[in-house]
Structure 1
Amino acid sequence: VVSNVEALGSGDVTDNATLELNTGGDFDNNIGGTGSVVKSGDKTLTLSGANSYTGGTTISGGTLVATNVEALGSGDVTDNAVLELNTGGTFDNVISGSGQVVKSGDEMLTLSGANSYTGGTTISGGTLVATNVEALGSGDVTDNATLELNTGGTFDNVISGSGQVVKSGDDALTLSGNNSYTGGTLISGGTLVASNVDALGSGDVTDNATLEMNTGGDFDNAISGSGQVVKSGDETLTLSGANSYTGGTTISGGTLVANNVEALGTGDVTNNATLELNTGGDFDNAISGSGQVVKSGDKTLTLSGANSYTGGTTISGGTLIATNVNALGTGAIDNRASLLLDASGQFTVTDLTTESGGNTEIGAGSTLQATTLTQKSDSTLTINLNSNTVDPVIHAASQVSLAGTLDITGVGDVLDSDPASTDDLDTFTLIASDKTIAGDFEKLTVAGMDADLADFITVDGRIDDTGKQYELTTALTWYADRDDAVTDAHGTFNLTNADGSFAVNTVLENVDATLDPDSATGWDGTSLIKQGAGTLILNAENTYTGGTTISGGTLVATNVDALGSGDVTDDATLELNTGGTFDNAISGSGQVVKSGDDVLTLSGANSYSGGSLISGGTLVATNVEALGTGDVTNNAVLELNTGGTFDNAISGSGQVVKSGDETLTLSGANSYTGGTLISGGTLVASNVEALGTGDVTDNAVLELNTGGDFDNAISGSGQVVKSGDETLTLSGSNTYTGGTLISGGTLVATN
């Protein structure tokens, strides 16, 4: 027994029995022999020599520090207190006992024995490498530096501390403990299996080989590296981190839930069990395998990869958008929430079922090939059409079963190739089946509205006479009841697009005798209403008698009989691009436009107040009130074949013609520049600016009942009369030949 560290002097010790060191300090004498060394007492003793004794070491008290990997000779170590290894190298002595092992210092130390000590392991510095799964005994591990596990098997010691765990080597190692270490995990080789969701502590994981998660629960450690992640076992595991590993993901059992769109890194996914995506964003990892994909949660997720998985797709929550025709693999689809197929081309699946409450939407340019199509009660099928859509949009080889709601957008792109004509309204096939279609949709909506409110076109969806095709047809809603369409007839033309127009070439006649008595539209079957900012063009000789109301946009009549025989209430714009006599009474706050090259006559006593625009041809007024009460912008020809006082202000680049035998008075301060022609009767100007600024051709009688300076040039064969009490000056170089009569006031000639 040595109770003083210097008791044996400075020479070597040959121990062929038992050397008990009950002391502290640094014992650097070399120890050889066949005997054993016992460390007793409470003190800390350091062995620093390269010792060769073979009888083993017993630590019964205090701390025994080895600063040389050979300090404890070659025999087994019975550690019932504390063994501190402050050295590097490979320590292959077997360690047993109830004591603790401490790894200190900066060096790397390897424990290779199948050790059975139970007092736990503390790593306070450097790296402790275990090349045997039992190298650290059976106690807990406090890792405040680096623990490297270069071994296989199941490591169930609990690991805590601020340090890192490294898995190296080619073997598969399982961590099963409820670990709390915070320094992260590095997988540099082989496979690290976590059979407990807390097995990898709380730090980040750098996976450059294989990380296998054979557990359930929520794993929120961030995973990076070039390695792969494997989900095995029957449990449900959730990955919630924004992970960046690149080696791909394999799901061999149970369910892997990703509640972050980056949870599975950037590599491909081989799914042979269940992949649940409870997240939003764009998931572009390619998915293969025999497993199913489940979309859960409230968010919107986009699948953009070219996927080949065969296990089917279930949408249980939120919205799933497929932007690649192969995004949903080839299996069956069970949609309980919202699914959008939004890629140009054909999606091919086995079965597509939309459950009650679900909505399946086919994007514009997408088509679907399925074995069966099932739309259950209270489900919705939305089909978006555009000019590139080909029919049928959906083809089901085996069976189609319909119920719920059909919602269609873009109808005009497929049913009316020429929106300027009703002649091109036609039929488009939405769904085709190789067998008879079962059931029918309970409701049809168009562009978000019920079909019976679809403005001037009735959209009718129906199964055709063969029973194997579901077709979309259109016609004017005006005749919906007469033709037994599914929507109620009405006479409202609502064009909401200010840049849009629609032309009606068919004759609109009274249909009051064929109206459905249960209709909710309240239409009388004889009147037309134009609504919205767009343009409605009526080309036919219409015979409806109930009148026309223009409450928005523009109504163009290209036939003088286009508005039937009733009165017109114009609160927007009425454009008359026609010739002939228009004798319908016009009222309202709107404008009347005369366009085109024809000569149009307005003969009614009209009261509209929005003014008149003459952009082409000739507008003839045979009633002094024919142009209502508003201003007139005349950029063509305005012919006034009437008598009375016309006090509407006239502007524009056009000409004014006075025809007929009557006497007409112009009293406004007019600014038109196209000149004045008097071909008959008498034109009285009661304002010196009444005839605008252009020349006057007087072939009848021009009466100037005004004062001021009249400098318009006057030509023609007619007479000029100065009437009234005022003084009028003629300053132009006039050539009229019909003489001059001064019946009142003073006429001054300054030329």
Structure 2
Amino acid sequence: MTMPFLPTRKLCPSKFRSARPAAFFAAITALFFVAAPYDARADMSIYETYVVITGGPSSSGQYYYEGKDNGGTNTPFANINQSINLLASPTLTLNGGQVKTSASSGDYQNSNNYEAMLWRFYSASGSAPSYTSNNLTFAASQPAYPNYLWESTGFNANLLTGVVSGSYKMDVYFSGNGSYFSGGQQYYTSSANTTAVQTANFSFYYGATGAGTQSSAFSGSGTFVKTGTGTYTLDRANTFTGGAYIDAGAVALTAANAATNGLIAIGQEASGGGDAKLVLNAANGTTFTNNILVRNTGGNRTIEFNGAGGVTNTIQGNITNNNGFQATNANGSLILNGVLSGSGGFEKVGSGTVFFSGSSSNSQSGTYTVNGGTLVLNKSANTAAIAGSLTIASGATLRTDAANQLNDRLVTVNGTFNLNDQAQSLALASTSGSAAITLGSATMTINNTGSDSFAGVISGTGGVTKTGAGAQTLSGVNTFTGKVQINQGTLSIAAESGLGGSVASLTADQLQFGGGTLAVTTGFTMSSNRGITLNSNGGTINVAASQTFGYGGVIAGAAGNNFTKTGSGQLTLSGVNTYSGKTIINGGAISIAADNALGTAPGLVVADQLTFGSGTLAITAGLTMSSNRGITLNSGGGTIDVASSQTLSYGGIIAGSGNGLTKAGSGILSLSGANTYTGTTTIGAGTLQSGAANIIADTSAVSITSGAVFDLNGNSLTI
């Protein structure tokens, strides 16, 4: 019985990564074919492109290989006459290729013009024996970097368990199923050297579709390469330094230094590659010192950590992420202590926890996504753990264990963001639904340049600070009890709960302004216990059209810290305000019933203490306004609206170049100062009363609407 002829199979170099030694791209010119075991003598025919063995072992359990040249132009064997005794710890020696001065059609050669060897082992019946204590020797007549592909289909798991040795540099590639070399790898510098172990020239390629497990250490400067969809486990402290390349499938590290301290590359360099995974499943507290490279390729790139019982593993090295990867697990935790760099994205999946730790900032510019479990940011304080946009999915958690980890990056919260008492600065993206931000005792700074809305709940004893030129809407029913500070841009609310939970007692600076704007989109009255303080650069309240925002608490602030009203809605101030800065009405109306609602009156005349820029001062009760509170009419002029049956008396100076004053409301406005504004005086309703001579400059026109009254009150006026 003979096995059917196996057609010649050439190995395409593009199947292997470009970073591998150039030697692999040599001629693949021999095919070693083993038939199913039966009692027959094996005859081998040698051709330039393949070797065929027909037949099988004798009854004594031996294979006999006798070389026979059938006219091929080059015979790549120096010593082919061998025997393998399956029962007596046999040794098989395979020789490398000879020099080819020129390649035949279809051949591949390495840079030294040496052929490579392709050895394939097959079992047609699928019941071939499992070799348990045999040795394999790779030999080469010259240091020409011959390559070997070892492929097995149908053999049992432990194909070769003896010592693998060889001379000169070589690369060994594996495909098929099984755990191949478990007896150790010994490579000698020359065929004459049989004592000194030399492993520096060894590269190990595993391309099986099934699982493989290491059972002896790898050493030297060679490379470990994983291809194929299977999983190979490195289960001990190895010392090889050429790095580990996971082109496809998975490599599991179950011991410290399993991949030594060399580079671990995940994914292929070229595009279109399949899934590649690094699995960390070592004992609790294991630290891997390797640098990791996530390469440009298709498919998913994954770091999986699955230690049971809360196991924590650490990657001490840096991760260069060029095309994105996932960190996934069912159990345990993973600490990334190095720098995460590159343009790829990071995704956390699974129920476990990943820590970004260390003392150096991450610089990965791609997206960061927490789709499951918890991502903990624990870099040194004020060290950026995030360098791109971050999304927290529903059901997932982001926690910060140190201050200032987010570096003002855009954060989308659909799950839970726990500041854990650590102050953070971020841009808070628009979200809706049941998202939650837990401050603890920390302050969250929202620093955005666009317009965003957060509908979730912010809780804790900490506070919120708004910076950046953008607008941030807080529409959730927040319960945090800390202070709100609006230093830049706009913080928009539709209810007092946008500013946090209720304030049980008067807190002077519960709402602080440092140059920003509070936008009120729906009318309501804010608790007087929520004290307002105007810090440097003052503050603005913008009330939307047709809305009224009422506040009866105290607005405080030093001189120079001004208060501005914008928006076409109305702001009603009923408290005894103590701020010393100016009041500027640039839109809508400020409604008051006492002079001190506009802050503390100046001790001396301040020309523009009350400034109009097309806004309105509405007077709801009779009062006399301090003459030291000078009025200036800017562009758009100003309106004073006095309620029915009420009188506003003012003896100070109203100034303004070309900008007019309008009297509205059915009440009385009594002016007694030597006003200097030059714009038109319009009496639209009620009465404008002269409390002294020449209250209107002779360059100002007067317009009186039907039904309105200009009462000179016995005083002269030249116009």
Q: TM-score range by the shorter chain?
A: 0.5 to 0.7
- TM-score using structure 2 length: 0.57
Cα distance in 1, alignment partners of residues 53 and 656 from structure 2: 117
1:331 aligns with: 462
2:563 aligns with: 445
Is the alpha carbon distance of 1:383 and 1:430 closer, same or farther for their aligned partners in structure 2, counting shifts above 3 Å?
A: farther
Is the alpha carbon distance of 1:325 and 1:87 closer, same or farther for their aligned partners in structure 2, counting shifts above 3 Å?
A: closer
Cα distance in 2, alignment partners of residues 157 and 126 from structure 1: 23
1:391 aligns with: 527
- Are 1:379 and 1:404, in contact at CA under 8 Å, matched by a contact in 2? yes
Q: CA deviation at 1:488?
A: 0.8
Segments of structure 1 that go 5 or more residues without pairing to the other structure are: 418-426, 432-436, 465-471, 589-751
Q: CA deviation at 1:224?
A: 6.4
2:397 to 243, 268, 288: 268
Cα distance in 2, alignment partners of residues 34 and 280 from structure 1: 64
Deviations 1:675-710 (A, max 9, x none): xxxxxxxxxxxxxxxxxxxxxxxxxxxxxxxxxxxx
Deviations 1:339-393 (A, max 9, x none): 9684476764456678xx76795846335659784999x9336555674122326
1:83 aligns with: 172
Mapped pair 1:207 → 2:338: no
Q: CA deviation at 1:244?
A: 4.8
- Are 1:335 and 1:360, in contact at CA under 8 Å, matched by a contact in 2? yes
- Are 1:340 and 1:362, in contact at CA under 8 Å, matched by a contact in 2? yes
- Are 1:379 and 1:403, in contact at CA under 8 Å, matched by a contact in 2? yes
Aligned pairs (5 A) from 1:393-472: 394-395=530-531, 404-410=537-543, 428-430=552-554, 440-447=558-565, 451=582, 454=585, 460-462=597-599
1:536 to 642, 664, 668: 664
2:244 aligns with: 141
Deviations 1:9-66 (A, max 9, x none): 85349799x9999569999977331343333443544455635362533323353735
SS of 1:538's partner is: coil
Cα distance in 2, alignment partners of residues 194 and 232 from structure 1: 10
2:302 aligns with: 186
Deviations 1:712-747 (A, max 9, x none): xxxxxxxxxxxxxxxxxxxxxxxxxxxxxxxxxxxx
Is the alpha carbon distance of 1:558 and 1:572 closer, same or farther for their aligned partners in structure 2, counting shifts above 3 Å?
A: closer
1:312 aligns with: 442
2:13 aligns with: none
Q: CA deviation at 1:95?
A: 3.2
SS of 1:278's partner is: coil
Mapped pair 1:56 → 2:132: no
Segments of structure 2 that go 5 or more residues without pairing to the other structure are: 1-42, 68-76, 98-116, 123-127, 141-145, 187-198, 308-312, 568-580, 602-609, 611-615
Is the alpha carbon distance of 1:101 and 1:529 closer, same or farther for their aligned partners in structure 2, counting shifts above 3 Å?
A: closer
SS of 2:371's partner is: coil
SS of 1:223's partner is: strand
Aligned pairs (5 A) from 1:168-247: 168=279, 171=282, 174=288, 176-183=290-297, 184-187=300-303, 190=306, 194-198=315-319, 202-205=323-326, 207=328, 209=330, 212-218=335-341, 220-223=344-347, 225-227=349-351, 230-235=354-359, 236-238=361-363, 240-247=365-372
Cα distance in 2, alignment partners of residues 277 and 460 from structure 1: 40
Cα distance in 1, alignment partners of residues 476 and 59 from structure 2: 87
- Are 1:324 and 1:342, in contact at CA under 8 Å, matched by a contact in 2? yes
Cα distance in 1, alignment partners of residues 544 and 684 from structure 2: 23
Aligned pairs (5 A) from 1:272-351: 272-274=401-403, 275-276=405-406, 278-280=408-410, 282-288=412-418, 290-295=420-425, 301=429, 305-310=435-440, 312-313=442-443, 315=445, 318=448, 323=454, 327=458, 329-331=460-462, 342-343=474-475, 348-350=480-482
SS of 2:436's partner is: coil
- Are 2:93 and 2:139, in contact at CA under 8 Å, matched by a contact in 1? yes
- Are 1:222 and 1:243, in contact at CA under 8 Å, matched by a contact in 2? yes
- Are 1:257 and 1:278, in contact at CA under 8 Å, matched by a contact in 2? no
1:747 aligns with: none
Cα distance in 2, alignment partners of residues 291 and 353 from structure 1: 18
2:86 aligns with: 31
Is the alpha carbon distance of 1:404 and 1:570 closer, same or farther for their aligned partners in structure 2, counting shifts above 3 Å?
A: closer
Cα distance in 2, alignment partners of residues 169 and 545 from structure 1: 84
Q: CA deviation at 1:247?
A: 0.6
- Are 1:566 and 1:584, in contact at CA under 8 Å, matched by a contact in 2? no
Bigger drift between 191-200 and 245-254 goes to 191-200
Cα distance in 2, alignment partners of residues 387 and 208 from structure 1: 49
- Are 2:90 and 2:134, in contact at CA under 8 Å, matched by a contact in 1? yes
Cα distance in 1, alignment partners of residues 464 and 276 from structure 2: 43
Rg (Cα) greater in structure: 1
Cα distance in 2, alignment partners of residues 57 and 461 from structure 1: 96
Q: Which has the higher contact order (CA 8 A, sep 6+)?
A: 2
SS of 1:312's partner is: coil
2:277 aligns with: 166
Cα distance in 2, alignment partners of residues 489 and 7 from structure 1: 108
Deviations 1:422-459 (A, max 9, x none): xxxxx82135xxxxx8x735332322598465489778
Q: CA deviation at 1:216?
A: 2.1
Aligned pairs (5 A) from 1:4-23: 10-12=56-58
Is the alpha carbon distance of 1:135 and 1:515 closer, same or farther for their aligned partners in structure 2, counting shifts above 3 Å?
A: closer
Is the alpha carbon distance of 1:55 and 1:504 closer, same or farther for their aligned partners in structure 2, counting shifts above 3 Å?
A: same
**Alpha carbon RMSD of aligned pairs, Å?**
6.1
1:604 aligns with: none
Q: CA deviation at 1:312?
A: 1.5
1:444 maps to a residue whose letter is N
SS of 1:488's partner is: strand
Cα distance in 2, alignment partners of residues 245 and 508 from structure 1: 61
Mapped pair 1:506 → 2:646: yes
Aligned pairs (5 A) from 1:710-721: none
- TM-score using structure 1 length: 0.55
Deviations 1:146-196 (A, max 9, x none): 233263544344344615422458547847224253344235661675444
SS of 1:130's partner is: strand
Cα distance in 1, alignment partners of residues 54 and 636 from structure 2: 113
Is the alpha carbon distance of 1:135 and 1:553 closer, same or farther for their aligned partners in structure 2, counting shifts above 3 Å?
A: farther
Aligned pairs (5 A) from 1:513-532: 514-515=651-652, 530-531=661-662
1:379 maps to a residue whose letter is G
- Are 1:95 and 1:116, in contact at CA under 8 Å, matched by a contact in 2? yes
Cα distance in 2, alignment partners of residues 361 and 411 from structure 1: 13
Is the alpha carbon distance of 1:167 and 1:452 closer, same or farther for their aligned partners in structure 2, counting shifts above 3 Å?
A: closer
1:537 maps to a residue whose letter is G
- Are 1:36 and 1:54, in contact at CA under 8 Å, matched by a contact in 2? no
SS of 1:576's partner is: coil
Deviations 1:492-532 (A, max 9, x none): 997889xx9764643467x6xx436xx75589xxxx9544x
Cα distance in 2, alignment partners of residues 454 and 7 from structure 1: 99
SS of 1:447's partner is: strand
SS of 2:540's partner is: strand
